[in-house]
Structure 1
Amino acid sequence: MNNIKTDFSIKDLENLSGIKAHTIRIWEKRYNLLQPKRTDTNIRYYSLSSLQKLLNISYLNNNGLKISKIAKLEEEEIPIAVREIASRGKIEHHAINAFKLSMLNFDQALFYNTYNSLLEEKTFRDIFYDIFIPVLNDLGLLWQTNTISPAHEHFLSIHFKQKILLNIEKLQSLEPHPDKETFVLFLPDNEIHDIGLLFINYELLSRGYHTIFLGESIPIESLKDLLKFFDKISFVSYFTVKPETDELLSYINTLHENIITETDNRFMVLGNQLNNIELNNLPNQIFAFTSIKELVKNF
């Protein structure tokens, strides 16, 4: 069972706030901004309230307030200053911090209040690109450095996924344009990270395409069933952790041989795993992309 994380090392604070540990120590010493606790072996650690304060300080500092001025604010004045700046300017950084705090506290109310505030100024598409993607990128680092547990990651991922599904549902009652091609979206065997693929499905539906979302862990052999129903298919997949690096080219060649060759079909793929192979010599009708935005431009 995962325990809720309430104590943080200075490295955790660096990973979560983006402020270097060296800078945090200077702010402690010079301005007394944080008061770390000490273990029996004299190792400093920080409370959840200290993390929240540091995230607010980071937001104020990134919005032009000098650290010397922030240090003069009373404790209760810091979050007020954050809200004031967020209300009259860009709110991306504030929202990203709020989502992180909602994750660390398992605070659903904070998540939904933050999301609903964003909707007052942004479209769902903008929220995904400007807020969700940076947060998801941060989750990767936080996971690798053991700053968060699987429970934290799943909490935030599920809530992001719910918002994507809600917006997909609004589009699914619309008839696709009859002249638009069919897209089949799937993840390879043992790949379960579907947030990016779900958003691509949203983008396709919003443009009037016919989509078939198959989701997680679909064997190549199962994709053959689609060939009986459609003359031309654009297959889309997202390689986040699977296939393994030493299996990537074999997987792509097998898919090409079984699904693409001697057809008008194509295969469009993106994801971190593609960084591990040379992409210049991919088989015909197979296209790799570095981001969702780049892929969407081709629709």
Structure 2
Amino acid sequence: MSDTHLNPAVLAPDEGIYPIREVSRLTGVNAVTLRAWQRRYGLIQPARTEKGHRLYSEQDIRQIGEILSWLERGVSIGQVKGLLSEPQSQQVNDHWQQTFEQLGQAVLALHQRKVEALLNELLASYPFELVRSRVLQPLVAQLLGLWRERPDGALLQQVWLGWLQTRFARHLIEQEKGQPVTLVSWGQVGPLDLIWCGYELVSQGYEVQLLGAVDPKTAALLEGRAATPWLVLLGAGLGKQELSADWPAGTCLLGELGGLYDPDWLATRDWQPTLASWLSTQRLTDRRPENSPSQGSSVRERRAP
């Protein structure tokens, strides 16, 4: 199929042929990773237009869902192709645990080049949501506890938390134009959680205005200057008086720590437990029902909590 050239102008809407940007929105796998799956691993061979642009079918989108399922189970991307054709043909190891241990050893050794190379490989080959939840968050948790375990623990924590923040903030500084959104935190969140939310939003085509820690009173002062909608990463430690304040219209609260608060209060503020679940609702909202491929949209619906 990779050698097939099609003219998108003559395709019927129900033929299920979608450009790479749309496939990225449907599945949550960014365009860089989709290209890597094709070129490096022989996965997902889309058709091409006469100008060489990739066009994906609904079958391709379903296969992306299968690939994500294997990756979630701990399979490395290099093993997936064989498992798609013969699911029982290979022994499956926990790729994520092995990767975490390898990265942790490089961190303790202060081997910055190796950490950068490992991280670049992960970000190019896997969806960021998986990299964050399976490797980065456990790594930060380990760093935060090092001061109790090692004499140099506080120094290692300082060095690597700063390095990681700079690494992901760079992506926000270099972002291209996209759908605008303002991203802030409210309450006590992890040291890199907000940066990671911004990174994932940029990867999904959003133009992120990152303001840091903001409360509703400050947000009201910025109405008309800050982009809408507002996305608020909800943290711990907020009291009843703080929770009674109102955010700008269209604001969405998100984050697992929202589970600490009253469910009825959360329901009135469009709370989503994860950024992935918010992105999933946006994909469904942004697409017209007649053009929405049932199998494609279900990929992320299945994965979102």
User: After the TM superposition, which residues 1-299 of structure 1 pair with which residues of structure 2 at under 5 Å, given as runs?
Assistant: 91-118=95-122, 121-122=125-126, 126-139=130-143, 142=145, 146-147=148-149, 149-170=153-174, 172-173=175-176, 175-177=177-179, 182-188=180-186, 191=188, 193-215=190-212, 217-229=213-225, 233-239=229-235, 242=236, 244=237, 247-254=238-245, 256=246, 259-260=247-248, 264-272=249-257, 274-277=258-261, 279-282=262-265, 285-299=268-282
Q: 1:224 to 1:202 in 2, by over 3 A?
A: same
Q: 1:185 to 1:238 in 2, by over 3 A?
A: same
| Counterparts of 2:192 and 2:95, CA distance in 1 | 23
Structure 2 stretches lacking a partner, 5+ long: 1-73, 76-91, 283-305
Q: 1:210 to 1:114 in 2, by over 3 A?
A: closer
| Counterparts of 2:204 and 2:270, CA distance in 1 | 20
Q: Which amino acid aligns with 1:201?
A: G
Runs of 4+ in structure 1 deviating by more than 6 angstroms, as ranges, are none
Higher RCO (CA < 8 A, seq sep 6+): 2
Q: Which amino acid aligns with 2:219?
A: L
Larger Rg: 1
SS in 2 for 1:289: coil
Deviation digits for residues 197-255 of structure 1 (CA, Å, limit 9, x no counterpart): 2222223233333432101x33433211222346953332241xx5x2xx43322212x
Q: 1:291 to 1:281 in 2, by over 3 A?
A: same
| Counterparts of 1:232 and 1:168, CA distance in 2 | 17
Q: How many positions carry a matched residue from both structures?
A: 191
- What is the aligned-residue RMSD (CA, Å)? 3.6
Q: Which amino acid aligns with 1:268?
A: L
Aligned to 1:27: none
| Counterparts of 2:280 and 2:95, CA distance in 1 | 26
| Counterparts of 1:116 and 1:194, CA distance in 2 | 21
Structure 1 stretches lacking a partner, 5+ long: 1-61, 64-87
Identity %: 11
| Counterparts of 2:211 and 2:128, CA distance in 1 | 23
Q: TM-score under structure 2 normalisation?
A: 0.50
| Counterparts of 2:204 and 2:123, CA distance in 1 | 21
Q: 1:198 to 1:207 in 2, by over 3 A?
A: same
Give the deviation of 1:183 after TM superposition.
2.4
